[in-house]
Amino acid sequence: MHNINVLYCFDNKFWKLAAVSMRSLLQSKNNDTFISIYCMVPRGTCRAARRKIEAMAAGFPNCQIIWRKISQRENPFKNHSFSRWSPVIFYRLFAHKVFPHLNRILYLDSDTMIFGDLASLYETDLNNCIMGAVIDCAQVDDYNNYMGQTIRKFQEKYIPNGFYINSGVLLLDLTRRAELDTLPLTEIPCEFACPDQDLINMVFAERIKYLSLRYNFTDAASVSKAYDQSDFHNARQNYIIYHFYSCKPFVLPHSQHNLHLQFIRTAAKFGWDDSTFIKDELKYQNKKTNIPGLRLFGTQMRLFGIRMN
């Protein structure tokens, strides 16, 4: 029996995506794999999320759900420089404090789908690294691609001898992370495009083992020079984890029609379709107002990043 721990961090905006990802995880695992799914959620996450997820998991053998609500005081990333971002994106960075009894955990973004058993990935030898991750597929060689150039400049400044990784799939050695708890993550000014991902790349760059592209694949227009074309083509045909960071799973281009159908068929098990996710996207959309510094996130109001209601 293989025992693996998997971590999801989400809130009311992303819980349905997380539920679909969890179902794909459980329906793809082998019978001899026991999965413990740890859910780190903020206080105030709707009760329907827990009911739906636990009811879904009850239909699969050899699995359990561990639900952990995170209070604001538990979040070390609550100073002003981080307050304009959702606190949930930083949860994975202090999972070692919330689950000190665990030696290792596999973090998965809510917008992932799993198409195979993850025991081999989970048991990867990290060679004393603090985590394993896949190199990001940003188009750093396209000088007309804004995000690609943002990441290229970041890489040149902070990790000139390495590669920029995507933090949507992280194999975390929590024991090693606890040993390095003195690293000043919360003291770094948050002036990045992708704050959580950039922090991980900046602070842990020399302590990351690069994993196969199959474990965090997205159908990007280009691939990092760290991978050759055979790696890319093999990952495209045989990916284990697909990450929708280049396009939303419910609005995929026609070229990815089969992948879109797989997502919708899995979502349909919960009674959801495309419109369910589109409505949620609009509900929580960041809306600008005519008042400087004031932003609306669904029913939530923030003034210069400070929540007002």
pLDDT (tens place) for every residue of the chain, 309 residues total: 899 999 999 999 999 999 999 999 999 999 999 999 999 999 999 999 999 999 999 999 999 999 999 998 888 877 656 677 788 999 999 999 999 999 999 999 999 999 999 999 999 999 999 999 999 877 666 666 667 777 778 878 888 888 889 999 999 999 998 887 765 665 565 566 778 888 899 889 889 999 999 999 987 756 667 777 778 888 888 999 999 987 888 877 666 888 889 999 999 999 999 899 988 888 776 554 444 444 544 444 454 444 444
Judge residue 102's burial from the number of C-beta atoms within 10 Å of its C-beta, 0-12 exposed, 13-18 middle, 19 or more buried.
Answer: middle
User: Please, what is the Cα angle at 66 between 91 and 264, to 5 degrees?
Assistant: 80
- Contact by Cβ (8 Å): 104, 36: no
- Smallest Cα–Cα separation from 249: which of 262, 236, 240? 262
* E strands present in 193-240: 208-210
What is the length of the chain?
309
* Cα-Cα end-to-end distance for the chain: 48
What residue ranges define each of the domains in the chain, with the CATH number in brackets? 2-272 (3.90.550.10)
Report how far apart, in Å, the C-alpha atoms of 271 and of each of 15, 192, 258 are.
Answer: 14, 38, 20
- Contact by Cβ (8 Å): 8, 37: yes
